[in-house]
């Protein structure tokens, strides 16, 4: 496994990802056995989810008196979680059970740090109780490496106070992209306050342009992960539609959004509408400045096609765990009906288990949160590869030139494809 771990480091696993992406973290394992009890280290990254994870640990320990689970939280910010997880795995001290996301799975598998959960999952009800898409997110070459934990999709949020002042009708679940543009134009024509925009179009793949790229028939990585699709006209149309909105003055510039994010602007009453992943709900709902005057609807369709991307987290087990059997048992239990209900009722994330998805919207009844789950089965999985972090960073840097009008999108995509295809070629070696 040491050879694989060296390769893992070479793959640049610790490259910082975009701020809108969900990722995972962990610290040094303290797993072991003491006084007849097994101690498991449980690596997570989100302080907002700590209370839910503590409830899960409490419930599991109540059923398993011989096991103690210690939560280790390492912040996601700046890639700290990944840096520590990689270092811990290299030193043979990674948490026994830890969060992993779809975007990093290939690198983790290639690094040899994930235990094979296939048999344990087959013996549980996970294959029947979760959507095939979510289960397969963590399968590589027929091997299942994680239990689905949660998923996130996207919705269109709007500020009712701004709409009311402009005399413009609220967005609806059946909107199209053209409707979105027309609504934004109506808001602009009504005369918004200084510094207030109808919408925002940041260089954001997961919540903005991947959705329209896929709905338009474009692609980012082909099925066998040998070539990128940036030169495909359909891909470029799915990106250009957001640049067009910036050019019409319906959104702040990409440069401005790089300084002040769309979420900060929305929470500051500076945006009438904003796309947001389900992971933003606790923050929006907890912000007194906007909580009582916002709501959400489904992402508008694009060319008549549902265009939503789905990402998610899973519970993985460290291949080098000294208590692997106990760790696997805990990971499988975390996918149980009981565990998914506990997590779902906190309202922080959408539980991956199908019968538990309902709890997310019930926990926040003031908002139309069914917008996140109504078409989840039709959402597009994010493209992943061993060099995913480098690929996303390349997009974030390169597309700024097109979004800011410094170069035509076609030229940017041509350059991007040449560099990205080299990454895929490196992955294949």
Q: Region 90-115: what's the mean pLDDT?
A: 90
- Residue with more model confidence, 145 or 104: 145
For residue 380, being part of any structural domain is answered with: no
Q: Provide the pLDDT for residue 33.
A: 52
Question: Which two tokens mark 96?
Answer: 């026994």
* Domain range enclosing 275: 154-307+387-428
Question: In whole angstroms, what is the distance from residue 119 CA to residue 124 CA?
Answer: 9
For residue 376, name the pLDDT band (cuts at 50, 70, 90): confident
Residue 43 has pLDDT above 60, yes or no: yes
Report the largest interatomic distance among the alpha carbons of the chain, rounded to a whole angstrom.
72
Same-domain pairing of 125 and 101: yes
Same-domain pairing of 202 and 68: no
Question: In whole angstroms, what is the distance from residue 327 CA to residue 47 CA?
Answer: 22
Residue 100 has pLDDT above 80, yes or no: yes
Same-domain pairing of 173 and 28: no
Same-domain pairing of 119 and 218: no
Same-domain pairing of 188 and 294: yes
Q: Provide the pLDDT for residue 34.
A: 52
pLDDT digits (tens, 9 = 90+) for 213-270: 999 999 999 999 999 999 999 999 999 999 999 999 999 999 999 999 999 999 999 9
Residue 176 has pLDDT above 50, yes or no: yes
For residue 200, being part of any structural domain is answered with: yes
pLDDT digits (tens, 9 = 90+) for 301-354: 999 998 899 998 999 999 999 999 999 999 999 999 999 999 999 999 999 999
Strand-by-strand arrangement of the 294-298 sheet: 273-277, 154-159, 294-298
Residue 428 has pLDDT above 90, yes or no: no
Helix/strand/coil percentages in the chain, nearest 5: 50, 15, 35
Asked if residues 318 and 96 have their Cβ atoms less than 8 Å apart, the reply is yes
For residue 286, name the pLDDT band (cuts at 50, 70, 90): very high
For residue 165, name the pLDDT band (cuts at 50, 70, 90): very high
Q: Provide the pLDDT for residue 14.
A: 37
- Residue with more model confidence, 111 or 149: 149
Residue 8 has pLDDT above 80, yes or no: no
Q: Provide the pLDDT for residue 48.
A: 87
pLDDT over 70 percentage in the chain: 91
For residue 381, being part of any structural domain is answered with: no
| Domain boundary pick from 337, 352, 374 | 374
Q: Mention every residue, 6+ apart, whose C-beta is less than 8 A from residue 125.
A: none
Q: Provide the pLDDT for residue 160.
A: 98
Asked if residues 373 and 312 have their Cβ atoms less than 8 Å apart, the reply is no
Same-domain pairing of 126 and 72: yes
Q: Provide the pLDDT for residue 27.
A: 35
Same-domain pairing of 170 and 282: yes
Q: Provide the pLDDT for residue 387.
A: 86
Q: Provide the pLDDT for residue 2.
A: 42
Asked if residues 158 and 323 have their Cβ atoms less than 8 Å apart, the reply is no
Same-domain pairing of 394 and 301: yes
Residue 83 has pLDDT above 60, yes or no: yes
Q: Give me the number of domains the chain comprises.
A: 2
Same-domain pairing of 77 and 136: yes
Q: Mention every residue, 6+ apart, whose C-beta is less than 8 A from residue 170.
A: 158, 160, 163, 295, 297
For residue 35, name the pLDDT band (cuts at 50, 70, 90): low
Torsions phi, psi for 317 (to 5 deg):
-120, 135
- For residue 302, CA distances in Å to 63, 216, 237, 242, 272 come to 48, 7, 11, 12, 20
Over the chain, what is the mean pLDDT?
A: 90
* Distance separating the N- and C-terminal Cα atoms of the chain: 18
Same-domain pairing of 147 and 159: no
| Domain boundary pick from 374, 397, 413 | 374
For residue 198, name the pLDDT band (cuts at 50, 70, 90): very high
Q: Region 59-71: what's the mean pLDDT?
A: 97
- Residue with more model confidence, 1 or 369: 369
Q: Provide the pLDDT for residue 10.
A: 43
For residue 385, name the pLDDT band (cuts at 50, 70, 90): confident
Cα angle 21-26-32, degrees, rounded to a multiple of 5: 155
CATH of the domain at 78: 3.40.190.10
Residue 206 has pLDDT above 70, yes or no: yes
Q: Region 383-395: what's the mean pLDDT?
A: 89
Residue 12 has pLDDT above 60, yes or no: no
Same-domain pairing of 164 and 15: no
Same-domain pairing of 320 and 401: no
């Amino acid at each position: 496994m040491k050879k694989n771990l060296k390769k893992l480091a070479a793959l640049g696993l610790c490259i910082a990802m975009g701020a809108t992406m969900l990722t995972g973290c962990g610290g040094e394992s303290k797993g072991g056995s003491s006084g007849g009890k097994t101690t498991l280290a449980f690596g997570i990254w989100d302080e907002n989810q700590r209370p839910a994870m503590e409830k899960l640990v409490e419930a599991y320990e109540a059923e398993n008196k011989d096991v103690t689970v210690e939560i280790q939280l390492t912040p996601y910010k700046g890639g700290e979680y990944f840096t520590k997880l990689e270092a811990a795995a290299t030193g043979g001290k990674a948490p026994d059970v830890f969060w992993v996301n779809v975007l990093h799975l290939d690198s983790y598998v290639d690094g040899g740090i994930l235990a094979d959960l296939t048999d344990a999952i087959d013996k549980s009800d996970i294959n029947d109780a979760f959507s095939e898409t979510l289960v397969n997110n963590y399968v590589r070459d027929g091997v299942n490496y994680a239990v689905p934990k949660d998923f996130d999709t996207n919705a269109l949020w709007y500020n009712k106070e701004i709409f009311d002042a402009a005399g413009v009708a609220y967005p609806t679940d059946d909107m199209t992209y053209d409707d979105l543009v027309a609504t934004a134009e109506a808001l602009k024509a009504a005369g918004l306050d200084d510094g207030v925009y109808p919408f925002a179009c940041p260089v954001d793949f997961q919540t903005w342009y991947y959705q329209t790229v896929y709905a338009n028939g474009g692609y980012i990585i082909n099925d066998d992960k040998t070539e990128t699709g940036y030169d495909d006209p359909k891909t470029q149309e799915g990106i250009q539609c957001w640049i067009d909105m910036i050019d019409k003055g319906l959104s702040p510039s990409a440069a401005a959004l790089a300084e002040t994010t769309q979420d900060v602007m929305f929470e500051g009453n500076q945006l009438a509408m904003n796309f947001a992943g389900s992971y933003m709900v606790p923050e929006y709902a907890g912000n007194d400045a906007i909580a009582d005057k916002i709501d959400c609807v489904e992402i508008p369709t694009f060319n008549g096609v549902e265009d939503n991307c789905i990402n998610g987290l899973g519970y993985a087990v460290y291949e080098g765990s000294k208590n692997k059997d106990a760790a696997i048992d805990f990971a499988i239990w975390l996918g149980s009906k009981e565990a998914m209900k506990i997590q779902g009722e906190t309202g922080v994330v959408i539980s991956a288990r199908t019968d538990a998805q309902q709890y997310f919207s019930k926990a926040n009844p003031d908002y139309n949160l069914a917008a996140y789950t109504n078409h989840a089965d039709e959402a597009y999985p994010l493209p992943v590869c061993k060099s995913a972090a480098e690929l996303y960073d390349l997009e974030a840097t390169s597309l700024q030139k097109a979004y800011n009008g410094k170069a035509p999108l076609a030229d940017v995509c041509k350059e991007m494809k040449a560099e990205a295809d080299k990454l895929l070629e490196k992955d294949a070696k």
